[in-house]
Amino acid sequence: MEIIHISAECYPAAKAGGLADVVGALPKYQTMLGHTASVIMPFYHGKFSSENEYSKVFSGFARMGHANYPFDVLKLEKKKLGYDLFQIDIPGLFDRKNIYSYKDDTERFITFQIAALNYLNSLESIPDVVHCHDQHTGFIPFMMSKVWDYRKFESVPTVFTIHNGEYQGQFVFEKMNYLPPFHSFFNGLVEWQGLINPLACAIKCAWKVTTVSPGYMEEISYTMKGLEDLLRAEKNKSVGILNGIDTDVWNPETDHMLDEKYGVSNVEKGKAVSKKLLCEEFSLDPEKPLFTFIGRLVGEKGADILPDVVYHTMINHPGEQNILILGSGEKIIQNALLHLENQFRGNYCSYIGYNEKLSHQIYAGSDFLLMPSRVEPCGLNQMYALRYGTIPIVRRTGGLRDTVVDIGDNGFGICHDQCTTHDVRHSIHRAKFFYNDKKAFATIRKQVMQIDHSWNKAAMDYLDLYKSLK
Ligand code: ADP
């Protein structure tokens, strides 16, 4: 089967979050299962593109509104990722450092989608399935079936995965001409509640819609920023498939980002050394249980309650624990987290920014990982934590509910119901009791490292889904 993934992110080429991890790993596992999977994404001008060699495989133009953008399709030299990676270089739109958050993101990603289809249109072979990821690729299923230029793809099955339904990419009708010409009869397919909405358009037009966990699929039919009715209407073609993790990249025995590598047999020593190194770096006390957070500092992740959690935990239980936070996002949260450092120096620290290496070191060196998320479509952090012998403390929502079972229910994690300071503090309290029961704690650590969250099952589930469309 020839599978084409189209996405705004793909690890290691460009990553802002879990989307990149998934698009970076799934094609690799599909290739290992004997299929030809490749990824098409924009060419950003970051570290990865400057450090790698590419060959130009196509040049063309993408007409978006009144502009006609020249673009090149660059193929990564050598199959270093385990599959082919094609990056579309569109000068003026993507020759920037960051992936998102520019005023012209609508123009950028529509042009990218048009360029991707122009490239596919130029090829002799027709893929067996086109798999699109999140709203930045939301018009592809529509364009493949309703835009005259791309009618060649009318019978090619499309799968659309919602990694995060919070971001829908809506824009006003005045920009309708950004899309290539199609019959006005189909206007309703791109519209939702008076705006053009790429996510809604994908849900309407893709042959199959998936979410990254069954729990999230269930939740979004009653809460997804105005798209609930649409999702309920399209329920029959929708399914939740739990993400896997790339166990080549996320393996404490071989992880080149760790100074101390370890496996199940020497987890106690491995984690003790990793924790000591981490604590030294951030001037924390390695004798105390270490609670950490890694992620975007936004309300969706429950990051807005973290300053309050830190303050009350440190004030009410001074010297009993350490808290370390790695993240970036809303300025108000960043400032509040930094502000607390002076007050609780020695027991609390925050690193504001994005740091892939440090994230690996934190998964390895922590005792507990906090995930108080309000919304969590799947959540990869808890699965990485488990693989590194770190106990996740999660709010029961979306994929967190599907992957973490509370120790009180014969499980291995700590769960709470609300995204509130009270619930998180109560969980930290429970965690400290658990931490002090050294024997039980050591047993659970070994157990969680062996839970299989690899892509093997999910990759098969996606293949079965594609086959059902033939
Ligand atoms: P998201 O909603 O952000 O995609 P996921 O749990 O699906 O959440 O994936 C988050 C991914 O991003 C994980 O690989 C996590 O380690 C990584 N990550 C998030 N923030 C940071 C950061 N500041 N530094 C390094 N890695 C980060």
CA of residue 374 to ligand 1 center, whole Å: 15
Pocket mutation for ligand 1, best pick of 15, 216, 296 (most atoms within 8 Å of C-beta): 296
Q: Does 9 contact ligand 1 (Cβ within 6 A)?
A: no
Q: Which of 9, 101, 357, 359 to mutate to test the pocket of ligand 1 (most atoms within 8 A of CB)?
A: 359
pLDDT at residue 79, as a whole number: 74
Best mutation site among 7, 9, 10, 21 for ligand 1 pocket (most ligand atoms within 8 Å of CB): 21
Residue nearest to atom 18 of ligand 1 (CA): 295
Contact 455, 383 (CB under 8 A): no
> Is there an atom of ligand 1 within 6 Å of 100 CB?
no
Structure tokens belonging to residue 364: 């390895």
Measured from the CB, is residue 294 less than 6 Å from ligand 1? Answer: yes
Tens place of pLDDT for every residue, the chain, 470 residues? 999 999 999 999 999 999 999 999 999 999 999 999 999 999 999 999 999 999 999 999 999 999 999 999 999 987 789 999 999 999 999 999 899 999 999 999 999 999 999 999 999 999 999 999 999 999 999 999 999 999 999 999 999 999 999 999 999 999 999 999 999 999 999 999 999 999 999 999 999 999 999 999 999 988 889 999 999 999 999 999 999 999 999 999 999 999 999 999 999 999 999 999 999 999 999 999 999 999 999 999 999 999 999 999 999 999 999 999 999 999 999 999 999 999 999 999 999 999 999 999 999 999 999 999 999 999 999 999 999 999 999 999 999 999 999 999 999 999 999 999 999 999 999 999 999 999 999 999 999 999 999 999 999 999 999 999 98
Q: Judge contact between 385 and 362, C-beta under 8 A.
A: no
Q: Is 296 in the pocket of ligand 1 (CB under 6 A)?
A: yes
Question: 18 in ligand 1 pocket by Cβ < 6 Å?
Answer: yes
Q: Is the CB of 58 under 6 A from ligand 1?
A: no
- Is the distance from the beta carbon of residue 334 to the nearest atom of ligand 1 less than 6 Å? no
- What phi and psi, each to the nearest 5 degrees, are found at residue 87? -120, 135
H/E run at residue 349: strand 348-352
Per the DSSP assignment, residues forming a β-bridge with 240 are 211
Q: How many H helices and E strands in the chain?
A: 17, 17
399 lines ligand 1 (CB under 6 A): no
389 lines ligand 1 (CB under 6 A): no
Q: Which protein residue's CA is at the shortest distance from atom 21 of ligand 1? A: 295
Gap from CA of 227 to ligand 1 centroid (Å): 25
Task: Output the pLDDT for position 221.
Answer: 87
Pocket test of ligand 1: the residue of 134, 354, 357, 397 to mutate, having most ligand atoms within 8 Å of its CB, is 354
Partners of 69 in the beta sheet? 62
Alpha-carbon distance of 462 to 115, in angstroms, equals 26
What is the predicted pLDDT for the residue at 224?
A: 87
What is the pLDDT, as a whole number, of residue 337?
98
Closest ligand 1 atom to 300 CA: 2
Nearest CA, atom 12, ligand 1: 17
Task: Tell me if 189 sits within 8 A of 115, measured CB to CB.
Answer: no
Q: How far is the CA of 362 from the centre of ligand 1 (A)?
A: 12
Predicted TM-score of the model (pTM): 0.93
CA distance to 57, 181, 202, per residue, from 163 (Å): 30, 28, 13
- Ligand 1 and 327: CB distance under 6 A: yes
